[in-house]
Amino acid sequence: MTGSPMPAGRHRHLISAADLSRDEAVLILDTAAELASVAGRPIRKLPTLRGMTVVNLFFEDSTRTRTSFEAAAKRLSADVINFSARGSSVAKGESLKDTALTLEAMGADAVVVRHSASGAAHRLAGWVTGSVVNAGDGTHEHPTQALLDAFTMRQRLGAPDQRGGGLDGVRVTIVGDVLHSRVARSNVLLLATLGAEVTLVAPPTLMPYAVETWPCKASYDFDAELRKSDVVMMLRVQQERMTAAYFPSIREYSRRYGLDAGRMALLPEHAIVMHPGPMNRGVEIAAEVADSPRSTIVAQVSNGVIVRMAVLYLLLGGAAAAA
Amino acid sequence: MNGAGTARNGDGMAEEWLIKGARIAGADRVADIRLAGGVITGVGEDLSAPGARVLDAAGLVALPGLVDLHTHLREPGREDAETVETGTRGAALGGFTAVHAMANTEPAADTAGVVEQVWRLGQQAGYCDVRPVGAVTVGLGGRQLAELGAMADSAARVRVFSDDGNCVADPLLMLRALEYVKAFDGVIAQHAQEPRLTEGAQLNEGEVASRLGLAGWPAAAEEAIIARDCLLAAHVGSALHVCHVSTAGSVEIIRWAKSKGWQVTAEVTPHHLLLTDDLAAGYDPVFKVNPPLRTHADVAALRAALADGTIDCVATDHAPHPVEAKETEWAAAANGMTGLETALRVVHLAMVDTGLLDWAGVADRMSARPAAIGRVPGHGQPLRPGGPANLTLYDPAAPAEAVDPAAHASKSRNSPFAGMALPGQVHATFLRGTATVLDGKVTR
């Protein structure tokens, strides 16, 4: 590894994409790029975090994110404990704090937490001595998703040697239920830090309050934005948003804000289509778009493991080297 | 009523006091105050009172005993958070001589039996007069009127009715309640919150909540109910009191309703006069309250409204919670903040130090007006001979000290002012001539 760990004390946790400076974000992406070359080798495991314990604390079901973190930690030789809220003492009413103290007693060096409440990772960080990695807190943030998205964009759109580079001038359009999206919040913050030009597209009911204070633009007109997009990121839309009257019907939503083959044809030649998953095929994204060469959806999954390896390495690697 | 019959206060055994050299709020002069037999027997220069205990009040401001229209004492049901005794002890330390105990107890204060129980607990504690608030609807359920008349006729003599914590959202039920309580000079105190507009709401709908990913509590959800209720109160010529006004828009609506001559009154909490929603940035639920902390513009509008009288009074919305109710993620945490023991100091900082109110104004907004709105006999009266000896001596020059919730008499520690340096100190509180607080400490 050539990337040096982040300065001790500056970052013990990764809670928000806003915590990262441009240099720090680029360091994570560069570290991930190094690790990607290891991933191509026959022996894919690194001894870096041997003897360290990473706990996956998932209060919400998310097999894809949990397995991604699990794979990342195991490839760095860490011991992994999966602590799922379902069927555990949490389901019996144990508080987040008591769960944190339990993990603390088990000697967790890092806690990867997914929780339905915004700010849960932030609170947890106050109760444990190990590192906390936010794997999604309510409708707040999901910073490793933003990092893997940025990594994928740099991989697909960047210069041949992307090391050290950001995403300057890359035009990213994020479409869908921005209001309830932690993926959108983290992406807006990280992509702006990396120099990208982000535009959010949503029906007015799903656009966050005071979005004009965010480091991005906002639009209700999907078609107008498509023509000037290098990246289109489609967000998952949930059925229950319809019952809460955010839009009249799934079909109307799909017509106005779904990405189908016709809309995809409006994109510039080089543009890519992203989706954090899981997808609602036929709702926000048509099957032929999801399966097209423009789609990076499968690459995002494999990049997720690599980027999460980079995050764990940079948060814990310094401590491991010292020990 | 409470005035005459308590075992420990005002029963002829009351102490005799000579308070020397206090600045009388509203009278604009320094004078001695003599207390005997539960009443003020003299106000003037160089009074003598052989045998009376003497209190040197040089530099202290004498205010009529403070009256809180909005206190959660939690008893019966949540004695782990507060009891009538601990809550009223805190009230006395904050300079209060009367508090209104909100109805959202377990069981709810929706019958004559429960309100009488709370009233008696207040008498037994003896720190200040406890005026129970009756629930408007059975179990605060918003479906059927509680027996308002029975509570009014009970020993507790209930005059303020509120489902606080819940909004009386059904317009017909609200109209009927407003009209019905006219028979006994009652007032409906509304927790103005449109329920559909605030489903799952966590924090003021604004830039901060949006960034933090917390579901927004829009100002319009408060303002829509206030506007509706003003129209309803006008329609039946009844008295409406608006609890914990929190937005600039609400102020405008209340100003308009008052300009029409309608019987609308309103309160603001100390925390809404000082704190803003950006404090939620660390997701510490000590800042979670309902209605939520708003913006700097709202705070400025609330202060101006309290200064010009559009908002009649300060009410604490003292809402104690056990530690575990706040040591959680934000969404799971209980709403509410303690406030009795810091209210006067916060008003000092937010209103007096800013030049918006003088001490006469403080006496009006924290004693006279709330006593009038709550129909509280024996409280809120000017410090004059013959008046009840309910008064508070406040030291405005006491150096600002950081608030330490662990030192509070309240059973709960959820003060949003923890660690904040607040000016002043409540030096003494007298309830019907008997000192409940001396030298900043309860007397027993």
Ordered DSSP codes for B278-334:
GGGGG--GGG--SSPP--HHHHHHHHHHHHHTSS-EE---B----GGGTSS-GGGSP
Residue B272 pLDDT > 90:
yes
Question: What band does B156 get if pLDDT is binned at 50, 70 and 90?
Answer: very high
A1 in a structural domain: no
Q: Are residues A189 and A278 in the same domain?
A: yes
Highest average pLDDT, of A48-62, A100-114, B240-254, comes from B240-254
Q: Check CB contact under 8 Å for A139 and B213.
A: yes
pLDDT band at A33 (very low <50, low <70, confident <90, very high): very high
Task: Please report whether residue A12 resides in a domain.
Answer: no
The two tokens of residue B42 are 């003299």
- Measured from the Cβ of residue A38, the count of other Cβ atoms closer than 10 Å reads 15
- Closest listed residue to residue B71, CA positions, set B325, B410, B347, B299: B410
Query: With an 8 Å Cβ cutoff, are B282 and A97 in contact?
Result: no
B212 in contact with A, Cβ within 8 Å: yes
Does residue A250 sit in the same domain as residue A207? yes
Q: How many CB pairs under 8 A join A and B?
A: 63
In tens, the pLDDT along B189-223 reads: 999 999 999 999 999 999 999 999 999 999 999 99
What is the arithmetic mean of pLDDT over A91-106? 83
Contact between residue B137 and residue B145 where contact means Cβ atoms under 8 Å apart: yes
Of B213, B216, B327, the CB nearest to A140: B213
Model confidence band, residue B71 (pLDDT cutoffs 50, 70, 90): very high
Is residue A120 one of the residues assigned to a domain?
yes
Taking residues B295-300, what's their average pLDDT?
A: 98
The answer as to whether A11 is a domain residue is: no
> Does A123 score more than 60 pLDDT?
yes
Can you give the residue range of the structural domain that contains A122? 17-141+301-322
Which residue bears the tokens 């998932």?
Answer: A58
Above 80 in pLDDT, residue A90?
A: no
User: Of the given ranges (A33-42, A250-259, B334-343, B399-408), which has the lowest mean pLDDT?
Assistant: A33-42
Task: Give bridge partners of residue B64 from the DSSP assignment.
Answer: B391
Assess whether pLDDT exceeds 80 at residue B289.
yes
Position A315 in a domain: yes
Catalytic-role residue among B110, B317, B364, B395: B317
Q: What is the pLDDT of residue A86?
A: 63
Q: Does the annotation count B317 as an active-site position?
A: yes
Q: Specify whether A79 is located in the same domain as A30.
A: yes
Range A197-222 average pLDDT: 97
Nearest to A118 among B213, B327, B328 (CB): B213
- Put simply, the answer to whether B331 touches A118 (Cβ < 8 Å) is yes
B76-111 confidence digits (pLDDT tens): 999 999 999 999 999 999 999 999 999 999 999 999
B419, B405 Cβ separation under 8 angstroms = no
- Say what the pLDDT of residue A89 is: 57
B220 neighbors B193 (Cβ within 8 angstroms):
no
Q: Residue range A148-176: average pLDDT?
A: 90
Q: What mean pLDDT do residues B328-337 have? A: 96
Is the model's pLDDT at B3 over the cut of 90? no
Out of B212, B216, B328, closest to residue A140 by CB: B212
Q: Which of B216, B283, B332 sits opposite A209 (nearest CB)?
A: B216
Instruction: Tell me which residues of chain B, numbers 298 to 357, contact chain A at a CB-CB cutoff of 8 Å.
Output: 324, 327-332
What's the pLDDT score for residue A260? 97
* Probe site for chain B from A19, A178, A209 (most B CB atoms < 10 A): A209
| pLDDT of A127 above 60 | yes
Lowest-confidence range among A55-64, B201-210, B357-366?
Answer: A55-64
How many structural domains comprise chain A?
Answer: 2
Q: Is residue A63 part of a domain?
A: yes
User: Which tokens is B366 given?
Assistant: 């924290």
**A245 shares contact with chain B (CB less than 8 Å):** no
Tokens of B420: 């904040």
Judge: B206–A182 Cβ closer than 8 Å, yes or no: no
The 3-class SS string of B343-359 reads: HHHHHHHHHHCCCCCCH
pLDDT over 70 percentage in chain B: 97
Q: What is the mean pLDDT of residues B141-145?
A: 98
Query: Is residue A43 domain-shared with residue A182, that is, in the same domain?
Result: no
Tell if the CB–CB gap between B210 and A211 is shorter than 8 Å. Answer: yes
Based on the fold, state whether residues A155 and A130 are members of the same structural domain. Answer: no
Shortest distance between the Cα of B393 and any Cα of chain A, in A, equals 41
Give residues 271 to 300 of B whose Cβ lies within 8 Å of A: 282-283
Same structural domain, A170 and A291: yes
Nearest residue in B to A212, CA atom? B207
Nearest 5°: the CA angle B263, B267, B268 is 150
Q: B209 to chain A, minimum CA–CA distance in Å?
A: 8
Q: Rounded mean pLDDT of A164-192?
A: 96
Mean pLDDT on A201-222: 97
**Distance separating alpha carbons of residues B278 and B209, to the nearest angstrom:** 9
pLDDT for A2: 34
Flag whether A59 is in a domain: yes
To the nearest whole angstrom, how far is the Cα of A100 from the nearest Cα of chain B?
11
When the pLDDT of each residue in chain B is averaged and rounded to a whole number, the result is 96
Give yes or no for residue B314 having a pLDDT over 90: yes
Q: What is the pLDDT of residues B34-58, one digit of tens each?
A: 999 999 999 999 999 999 999 999 9
Q: Which of A115, A209, A214 sits opposite B206 (nearest CB)?
A: A209
List the strands of the sheet with A272-274, edge to edge.
A217-219, A197-201, A171-175, A231-234, A272-274
In this structure, the number of other CB atoms found within 10 A of the CB of residue B199 comes to 10
Name chain A contacts of B327, Cβ cutoff 8 Å: 95, 97
For residues A229 and A276, membership in a common domain is answered with yes
Same domain, A289 and A149: yes
All structural domains of chain B, each given as residue ranges with its CATH number in brackets, are 2-61+386-442 (2.30.40.10), 65-373 (3.20.20.140)
- In this structure, are A109 and A185 located in the same domain? no
Average pLDDT of the residues in B155-183: 98
Which chain B residues are within 8 Å of A95, Cβ to Cβ? 324, 327-328
Q: Tell me: pLDDT of B2 over 60.
A: no
- List the catalytic residues of A: 64-65, 92, 114, 142
Which domain CATH number covers A107?
3.40.50.1370
Whether residue A279 sits in one domain with residue A255: yes
Residues B139-148 have a mean pLDDT of 98
**Average pLDDT along chain A:** 90
Res. A87: pLDDT tops 70: no
Domain shared by A148 and A133, yes or no: no
Same domain? A39 vs A107: yes
pLDDT in the model for residue A104: 87
ipTM: 0.92
SS3 percent helix, strand, coil of chain B, rounded to 5, is 35, 20, 45
A50 located within any domain: yes
Q: Do A118 and B282 touch (CB under 8 A)?
A: no
